[in-house]
Structure 1
Amino acid sequence: MDDIQIFHDSHNIQLRNPFGAVTIGTKVRIRIWTSKKCSVYINLINFYNNQVEVQMNEIGWNGYVNSWVYENEIDTSNCFGLIYYYFRVNYCGRNILYGNNIESLGGEGQTYFNDPKSYQITIYSNEKVPNWYKKGIIYQIFVDRFFNGNKEGKVLNPKKNTFIYGKWDDDPMYIKDEQGNIVRWDFYGGNLLGVKKKLKYIKSLGVSTIYLNPIFDSPSCHKYDTGDYEKIDPMFGDEEIFKELCSEAEDLGMRIILDGVFSHTGSDSKYFNKFGNYDSLGAYQSLESPYYRWYRFNDYPKLYEAWWGFSNMPNVDELNPSYLDYIIRNNNSIIEKWLKLGASGWRLDVADELPDEFIKILKKKLKEVKAEGVLIGEVWEDASNKYSYNRRREYLFGSELDSVTNYPLRQIILDLVRNYIGNRYFIKKYMSLKENYPKEYFYSTMNILGNHDTERVLTILNNNISLLKLAVVIQMTLPGVPLIYYGDEAGLTGGKDPYNRKAYPWGKENKDILNFYTKISNIRASEEALKSGEIKFLDFNNEVLGYERLIGNEKIVVVVNTMEKKENISLYDVNDGNTVIDLMSNDKRYEVKNSQIEIELKSHEYKILKIL
């Protein structure tokens, strides 16, 4: 008996149409090819893990693909979130299972004896993300480490029992006891006035959005242990300077996004008040506290649920009615107050630890207060199919987040430029995200190379500036919203926390890196094809990564040589009358001959070519 050949490719429009995520109500046509006539069934699994098997319709023999074709149409009108599918092929009494590839990356599948990997279809309601965010560039600021706007660097309202660095360029450190607990928090003295004074510098990088790490009252330098959501930390400033910052930023075409830490508070807060530093009656102090039911105590008061076991960050019950009212639902709630004072959105810390219901209520409130506001979630994996705390998450289906942190993209960019992976595997991983994410969200992801939770990108790349430039070129020319972590553009280095939170090196910037960032970020900010164009990958039969960004008649081609050796490539289908400009090399022009361009790429060289 001859073996039967089976083939399905979720990226091939003949076999799955339309490509990728679809809006609710879209009919998705699924086809599979087999080399022999047989019976084919498709198994469909919905968001709630209910499964049904349906026999596929035989379309007949297709001589062009030299296969029998079987088809099924999935009506998503009554579907929610995700549909998974795989196939069962019955040939001569033998059952063969066919599903996604072993890494579940979409595209070409494979046969299985049992437990096949399923393909994913994401189904969503089409909510629009504001263009000011989606088409922009983000600059992330860890406020204490950015700039002190006071005369002669005076530190504003230093806290009791803290450590102030003697020099702005000192390396950060933690002062801990024998158990590893931090006993004195460290500060450099950066503040909101300092951010305000550097707005023109930030704007010079092509930035349209400033994302501030937490700024509310807190004992720590990082502020992820909130003491009072209603108050700017006095070391950073006050409401008045915050309003001025938002207003002056908007005058320059930039918006401010705040970090919302709502899965836990600080133990040293007016809500918990473990150390009695606030005038309030805290949950730790009394069962009669208005905040008592916000927290989960195992043995009152000393044993309580804390974020990842850190006793200075007691977890809250986000769906407690009183907490919901305070943070979201009340008039002038925390969400509403800061939006009305000038913020244009929130980034949700540890979104995985916030219930979906909480995020939905917050999103609804945010849009009521500021229709053009945005909600971003910290998610470390593929956010379309994230599973956490024993449930599938609903981040990208339309009623929750506008954007998520794109850690998967960060990983494959850094792996590519270090030659841990090749360009074909990079494309395979990238296309998996493109397939799974609704297009509106795919073009809104927060595309990072580093932030306050990771090692500095230059340190990861062993201080290799050539590799840094390759990584940034890719980051700045792919769909999504590129993020610059303060100081990366100046050549800051540093390993894990606290070394990734050094002070910005004013006056000691690496000019080569800074000039490069300024040039490429402004190209990104000015080219519509890079902000919203379609992406099409090119195949050069070598390890050169290439892709086109296309919108209307505009085309930009990006080519990146990650190898140590020189590579030669040809670009085809270029009209002889076209002008080809190298945007990064002082508008160098290329000659088109016989509808193609010959390009030599030196080791670790890149080109961003605009075809006019």
Structure 2
Amino acid sequence: MNSISYFLQPDSILFNSQDIDFKMPFGATACGEEITFNILTEVSINCLDVRLILKNGKESEFKLYKKKEKKIRDRDYIVWSLHFKTPSLPKTLFYHFKFLIGNSNSIFYYGNNSLGLGGVGSIYENHPIDYQITLFYKNNPSPKWFKESIAYQIFPDRFCNANRDGKLNATKENSFIYGRWNDKPMYIKNSKGEIVRWDFFGGNLKGITQNIGYLKDLNVGTLYLNPIFEATSNHRYDTTNYHNIDPILGTLKDFKEMVRECKQRGICTILDGVFNHTGKDSIYFKDASRSTKSPFYSWYRFKEYPYDYDSWWGIKDLPCVNELEPSFFKYIVEGENSVVNHWMKTGIKGWRLDVADELPSFFIENFRYKCKKIDSDAIIIGEVWEDASNKISYGQRREYFNGKQLDSVMNYPLRTYLLNFYNGSIDSETLLKYMNSLRENYPAENYFSNYNLLSSHDVKRIKTSVKDIVKCFNIDTQLQGAAVTRVLKSLSLIQFTLPGVPVIYYGDEVGLEGGKDPDNRRTYPWGSEDSNLLKWYQKITSLRYNSKILKKGEVKFFSPHPDVFGYIRYLPNTNDFIGVISNRSPYKSKFFKLNLKELVGQFSNNITTDIYLWNESLIVPIDSSTDFPIKIPPLKTLLFSSKSV
């Protein structure tokens, strides 16, 4: 990037991809629909020509036309406009603008900002950063039940053993069984760092069934289980037989009973689908490695038969499969007794696709089609760790949100953004940009289906992450416990009030800790729960469950101070809204007078004078006409609303 010429100031050209006055409609757009671009150039720079440079596999130019003049802050601008019809096929489009400036008879460009996050951009002499538009097929909604639900994730071996004697339903060869439920998990490895004994606690399906009432107390509507198919390991991402329940977990009868009981209590079950690789001990790979005439031989990519083969990240226990090999594809997706058919018939409502980045698009599209054909309300979630709208995997840009692949993705970016805000890596203005970028890039159906997590089986638990942050605060050691609680409550309140599906990783709601794998897979601490934190989660899950605004409402983010981040959830053309404002400073309260007319008035018919402030258990009506006075204590997140919640 080169610096711009001296006579072109940053506001000589005005454009904001996230403002409908400049780009309409907002964000991702359906195929075949019209987008209106408006870009402003200051009269004094004598702009002679403006072009939209669009990249859709190839680069095209479109001329913008002078529309009118407009005065902004006593400066005169020309409005250049273009109506552009999007292509009929879904594709991630990229664009910037090119200008011919008469004062110097030079070419300049306007593109995305240096972070590539959309919104207000920058002027460039060359090599502009592109903006993005995600195109998608319309009329492919994500399931309503999922978008409006609260999810709960269980690592089955570690949740609950319902056997009265506490013993395992079955045992595995050369495994390690813990003597006590509350022991900390560990790996038993050899000198090469290879796991030589898999460890088990004995959590089972009946243990989940036994605690459905507990899940309902948390207002859970979606239950996501880590793999349950027969495998060698405790995590079961090394499938040995796709059609069998792992005996340690129980039987197919146990599973069907769990699904049925969940359904009767309004909870839908989602399974973890591991289709990029199997286990080395699987019935498929064992047979393939015994004979090249095996019906499973073509499933795998042998380099030097039978000992050298492609495996996931080089882990020999996880041989990769050819997902598009006809017999494998039929076995998983298309066959009469396919894996999809077999498990969907048990009453499950969908799948989380493991390592979606490594599954071919054709596989994902047909997998989704098959599931939706069986149950039109089925949900397909993908494990994607980045912004899924522009992910490049193995040199190919993925089109997860084209309307035919994923309904939802695991929202790891949200977790990263929030932790970086609280640890001081970014300020609230930058957090706002990241939040708005996902909102702009994701089609609404996918955005409101985002799998919003703070913990998972693949990252540190949220309490441990927060404790790491608080240790860096310059506060007395005795006060750190209270600070951890405040941050946990702030993060969880944010999680449960943002658009998307909030997900509780089992045990987070009672203060379970854990570092990196396997420590993040500790057992649920039955009898040793943090009861105060559990009450907090019951409160915020109830808030979410009972709020139409939090399930369906639009969102507007704002940043009144580097340490303070906030947003408004609202229902357009009504007076109903809920606001959230968070102070990440561990030292100082922040006092503001928020302009409600600015924050609320643009989407509300009018502004109520009674604003209700919610601070954990206290609901106070506050008289406010224009400026809403609000004081946010250190490490606190407050909620205010147009109605008592």
1:79 Cα deviation (Å)? Answer: 4.5
- Partner AA of 1:44 in structure 2: L
1:13 Cα deviation (Å)? Answer: 1.4
8 Å contact kept, 1:579–1:589: no
Partner residue in 1 for 2:7: 3
Partner residue in 1 for 2:258: 245
Q: What runs of 5+ residues in structure 2 fail to find an aligned partner?
A: 469-483, 598-605
Partner residue in 1 for 2:78: 68
1:540 Cα deviation (Å)? Answer: 3.0
8 Å contact kept, 1:44–1:83: yes
Partner residue in 2 for 1:376: 381
Q: What runs of 5+ residues in structure 1 fail to find an aligned partner?
A: 274-281
1:596 Cα deviation (Å)? Answer: 4.4
Distance 1:468 1:587, change over 3 A: closer
Partner residue in 2 for 1:276: none
Are 2:395 and 1:418 aligned? no
Are 2:636 and 1:605 aligned? yes
Distance 1:346 1:489, change over 3 A: same
Are 2:556 and 1:546 aligned? no
Give a deviation string over 1:259-292, Cα, whole Å, max 9, x none: 000000001000011xxxxxxxx11111011100
Give a deviation string over 1:82-111, Cα, whole Å, max 9, x none: 211111111132111221111110011112
8 Å contact kept, 2:596–2:607: no
Partner residue in 2 for 1:451: 456
Partner residue in 1 for 2:479: none
Are 2:82 and 1:51 aligned? no
1:407 Cα deviation (Å)? Answer: 1.0
Partner residue in 2 for 1:461: 466
Give a deviation string over 1:275-325, Cα, whole Å, max 9, x none: xxxxxxx11111011100000001111110000000000000000000010
Query: What TM-score do the two structures reach when normalised by structure 2?
Result: 0.91
Partner residue in 1 for 2:602: none
Are 2:46 and 1:37 aligned? yes
1:386 Cα deviation (Å)? Answer: 0.8
8 Å contact kept, 2:575–2:607: no
- Partner AA of 1:475 in structure 2: Q
Are 2:130 and 1:118 aligned? yes
Q: Secondary structure at the match of 1:517?
A: helix
Identity of aligned residues (%): 42
Q: Secondary structure at the match of 2:551?
A: helix
Equivalent runs, 1:90-169 vs 2, <5 Å: 90-92=100-102, 93-126=105-138, 127-169=140-182
Partner residue in 2 for 1:493: 513
Partner residue in 2 for 1:277: none
Which of 189, 208, 213 is 2:221 aligned to?
208
Separation of aligned partners in 2, 1:452 and 1:487? 12
Partner residue in 1 for 2:593: 570
Which of 396, 399, 405 is 2:404 aligned to?
399
Distance 1:457 1:577, change over 3 A: closer
Which of 70, 76, 85 is 2:95 aligned to?
85
1:123 Cα deviation (Å)? Answer: 1.0
8 Å contact kept, 1:560–1:607: yes
Are 2:247 and 1:234 aligned? yes
Separation of aligned partners in 2, 1:581 and 1:110? 40
Partner residue in 1 for 2:539: 519
Q: Secondary structure at the match of 2:289?
A: coil
Which of 361, 364, 372 is 1:359 aligned to?
364
Distance 1:577 1:96, change over 3 A: closer
8 Å contact kept, 1:349–1:378: yes
Q: Secondary structure at the match of 1:547?
A: strand
Which of 577, 585, 588 is 1:555 aligned to?
577
Give a deviation string over 1:237-277, Cα, whole Å, max 9, x none: 1111111101100111101000000000001000011xxxx
Distance 1:591 1:181, change over 3 A: same
1:580 Cα deviation (Å)? Answer: 3.4
Distance 1:180 1:54, change over 3 A: same
Which of 579, 584, 589 is 2:620 aligned to?
589
Separation of aligned partners in 1, 2:217 and 2:615? 17
Distance 1:292 1:125, change over 3 A: same
1:539 Cα deviation (Å)? Answer: 4.5
Separation of aligned partners in 2, 1:293 and 1:590? 68
Which of 282, 302, 305 is 1:297 aligned to?
302
Are 2:351 and 1:346 aligned? yes
Separation of aligned partners in 2, 1:90 and 1:134? 46
Separation of aligned partners in 2, 1:582 and 1:186? 48
Separation of aligned partners in 2, 1:208 and 1:137? 5
Separation of aligned partners in 2, 1:120 and 1:544? 28
Separation of aligned partners in 1, 2:35 and 2:523? 52
1:583 Cα deviation (Å)? Answer: 4.4
Give a deviation string over 1:551-589, Cα, whole Å, max 9, x none: 244211111111120111234448786543344543522
Separation of aligned partners in 2, 1:345 and 1:473? 27
- Partner AA of 2:240 in structure 1: G
1:595 Cα deviation (Å)? Answer: 4.5
Distance 1:392 1:577, change over 3 A: closer
Q: Secondary structure at the match of 2:591?
A: strand
Give a deviation string over 1:386-420, Cα, whole Å, max 9, x none: 11112111100100011001111111111122232
Q: Secondary structure at the match of 2:432?
A: helix
Equivalent runs, 1:245-284 vs 2, <5 Å: 245-273=258-286, 282-284=287-289
| Deviation larger for 144-153 or 50-59 | 50-59
Separation of aligned partners in 2, 1:555 and 1:145? 39
Q: Secondary structure at the match of 1:482?
A: strand
8 Å contact kept, 1:86–1:116: yes
Q: How well do the aligned residues superpose, as a CA RMSD in angstroms?
A: 1.6
| Deviation larger for 63-72 or 598-607 | 63-72
8 Å contact kept, 1:590–1:597: no
Q: Secondary structure at the match of 2:293?
A: coil
8 Å contact kept, 1:259–1:346: yes
Distance 1:297 1:512, change over 3 A: same
1:332 Cα deviation (Å)? Answer: 2.7
The count of aligned residue pairs is 602
Partner residue in 2 for 1:197: 210
Distance 1:334 1:610, change over 3 A: same
